[in-house]
Structure 1
Amino acid sequence: MKKSASLSILVAIVLSGCGALAAPCRVTSAAIKIIPVVGHAAALPTDACAAVIDP
Structure 2
Amino acid sequence: MNTHLSECSTQLFPTSPTTRLQAENLAKTLILHTQESIELPALADVSLAGNADECG
Q: TM-score, normalised by structure 1?
A: 0.25
Greater length-normalized contact order (CA 8 Å, ≥ 6 residues apart)? 1
| TM-score, scaled relative to structure 2 | 0.25
Which structure is higher in strand share?
2
Structure with the largest fraction of helix: 1
